[in-house]
Amino acid sequence: MPGRRVLIRGGAVLSMDPAVGDFVETDVLIEGSRIVAVGPDLTASDAAVIDAKGMIVMPGFIDTHHHQFETALRGFLADGILINDGAPHSLVNYYEHILQKFSMVYRPEDVYINELFGSIAQLDAGVTTVMDVSQIHHSPEHTDAAVAALKDAGRRAVLGYFEGWGEKSKYPLDAQRIKTHHFASDDQLLTMVMGGEIYLPGYETAWQIGREIAVPVALHVVGTFGMASTFDELAKAGQFGPDNIFIHMTGMSDFAWQVAAEAGSHVSLAVPIEMTMRHGMPPIQKALDLGMQPSLSSDVECTMTADPFTQMRCALTLQRAFVNEMALGGETDLPPLLTSRDVIRFATVEGAKGLKLDARTGSLTPGKEADIILLDATALNVAPLNHVPGAVVTLMERSNVDTVMVAGRIRKWRGEPLDVDAGKLRRELEASRDYLFEAADVEHNLFRL
């Protein structure tokens, strides 16, 4: 409701804004869609009060790369890798099974239910913002279905307008229509990113269009796809900019890395996926050494969960493993160890910066929109609370997400999603799954691939 005031009372506030600070016990006042104050003993006689005692109050998580159209295929490729590279283990792979079989048979209605269900599931996990990398733009109707689902989910989302296949696909030329029709206003939850995959013929056109319509240009950058030489050429040509989002960045040259850092480009890491699917070792230390602060992303639920706690824990433990191994080997010139607060920053503030949304979200800063989560610190897996950032990263999971707010609107309340008929949506998602397996001529066997 416009102008409605809500007072979140007495929580342990992790603001992620150094100018605001952190509080053992304090209040957050919201008016309409925005945060108006953070501090102790706030008064607002007309406000609805949320008792946050025993809760950690913090900004919602931001996922900068998630293929939500694959929600019906969750866990299907749990043991797979990225491509068939001729090496052992590669017969079961993402490119051949997901992109070349399943994705080809999606109908607009499949896009809609997959996108909607995936969005609601991430809201349940405290992810209030996503960049949806929807490589499913087989027609304008597919695109419109993706946008409709993102809108109906009621959270902040960035449509990644990536490729599609078939004679009805208008990618990348439909970008102007999409921007004008769906994203003409800056005052909405949905924004847009242009996909510009350099392994596709004609990627230069996608980059050009993205810059003409003034949206960021995002792309997967993976050495196993043989992209390094093309990436170097783009670097030499001065094509990198602060509007670029480079996903994975595995296997790229030192030269390209340096140019990307100097250009102010953003790096999105999907650490657990990169480790398990043979993208290459996640370059988290490389980014940090160059002063680049990465964001975190879930990538594909056909292989790994999309919850933010998994992403943060993997980033923390991997970087610390690198540095600890150096220390155990006798090296003394060591980079700093990542802390729990660092990876929370990657999952909030840095994600907002990468998606050009940091004026709106990413921290509990007065004037920003109220994308806020309350995490239960009294639960059996957390109590007693001793260290707020540490509890969030090393102890918590989806079950600790008690309440979720997006732009001042409550989307999950006391552990239950609001305005959602989960049973109905699950049945629709299962029907989509059954169709996709049949249409792709893939056996649906619950115990083997």
Domain presence at residue 247: yes
Residue 1, pLDDT > 80, answer: no
Q: Is residue 432 part of a domain?
A: no
Distance from C-alpha of 97 to C-alpha of 111, rounded to nearest angstrom: 17
Provide the pLDDT confidence category of residue 449 given band limits of 50, 70 and 90. confident
> What's 392's domain CATH number?
2.30.40.10
**What pLDDT band is residue 278 in, cutting at 50, 70 and 90?**
very high
- In 60-126 the beta strands, taken as DSSP E runs, fall at 61-66
The pLDDT of residue 436 is 98
Domain end among 303, 328, 354:
354
Distance CA 111, CA 141 (A): 10
Distance CA 221, CA 299 (A): 13
Cα 309 off chain centre by? 12
Residue 429, H or E segment: helix 422-439
What's the confidence (pLDDT) of residue 264? 98
Q: Are 402 and 55 in contact (CB under 8 A)?
A: yes
To the question of pTM greater than 0.95 for the whole model, the response is yes
Helix (H, G, I), strand (E, B) or coil at 345: helix
The mean per-residue pLDDT over the stretch 171-192 comes to 95
**177 and 54 belong to one structural domain:** no
Q: Domain of 304?
A: 61-354
Tell whether the model's pLDDT for residue 223 goes beyond 90: no
pLDDT tens readout for residues 235-245:
999 999 999 99
Q: Which of 304, 336, 354 is at the close of a domain?
A: 354
Q: Residue 387's CB: how many other CB atoms inside 10 A?
A: 12
Q: What is the mean pLDDT of residues 157-175?
A: 96
Average pLDDT over residues 339-365: 98
- Going through 135-212 in order, the beta strands assigned E by DSSP cover 156-161, 190-195
Q: For 288-299, write each residue's pLDDT tens digit.
A: 999 999 999 999
Q: What are 215's two structure tokens?
A: 């949206």
Half-sphere exposure at residue 70, Cβ-oriented, CA atoms within 13 angstroms: 30
The pLDDT mean for the chain works out to 96
> Do 67 and 144 reside in the same domain of the chain?
yes
Q: Are residues 226 and 315 in the same domain?
A: yes
pLDDT per residue as tens digits for the range 213-222: 999 999 999 9
Number of residues that make up the chain: 449
Domain co-membership, 163 together with 210: yes
Q: Are residues 178 and 267 in the same domain?
A: yes
pLDDT computed for residue 91 by the predictor: 83
In a domain, 342, yes or no: yes
Same domain (yes/no): 319, 389: no
Same domain, 310 and 398: no
Contact by Cβ (8 Å): 250, 281: yes
For the segment 134-156, the average pLDDT, to the nearest whole number, is: 97
In a domain, 339, yes or no: yes
Average of per-residue pLDDT across 59-66: 98
**Any idea what DSSP says for residue 352?**
H
- pLDDT computed for residue 2 by the predictor: 58
The residue-averaged pLDDT of 5-11 equals 98
Residue the block writes with tokens 């405290």: 126
Strands 55-59 and 372-376: antiparallel
Query: Which secondary-structure segment (H or E) carries 134?
Result: strand 127-134
Amino acid, single-letter form, for residue 16:
M
Q: Which pLDDT score is estimated for 448?
A: 85
393 within some domain: yes
Task: Indicate whether 23 and 33 sit together in one domain.
Answer: yes
- 36 and 170 in a single domain? The answer is no
Query: In the structure, what pLDDT confidence band is assigned to residue 19 with cuts at 50, 70 and 90?
Result: very high
- Mean per-residue pLDDT for 184-192? 92
**Helix, coil or strand: residue 92:** coil
Span of 143-157, 215-229, 306-320, 402-416 with lowest mean pLDDT: 215-229
Sign of the dihedral defined by the CA atoms of residues 213, 222, 127, 138, in that order: positive
User: What is the model's pLDDT at position 280?
Assistant: 95
Buried b (16+ CB within 10 A) or exposed e, 167-181: eebbbbebbeebbee
d(CA 175, CA 161): 8
For residue 435, being part of any structural domain is answered with no
CB-based contact 82:278 (threshold 8 Å)? yes
Residues 140 and 284 in one domain: yes
d(CA 277, CA 154): 31
Q: Which pLDDT belongs to residue 153?
A: 98
SS3 132: strand
Total domains present in the chain: 2
Do 248 and 333 belong together in one domain?
A: yes
**Main-chain dihedrals φ then ψ at residue 249, nearest 5 degrees:** 55, 40
Distance, in Å, from the CA atom of 294 to the CA atom of 286, rounded to the nearest integer, reads 10
Residues 372 and 265 in one domain: no
Of the three residues 335, 354, 373, the one that is the final residue of a domain is 354
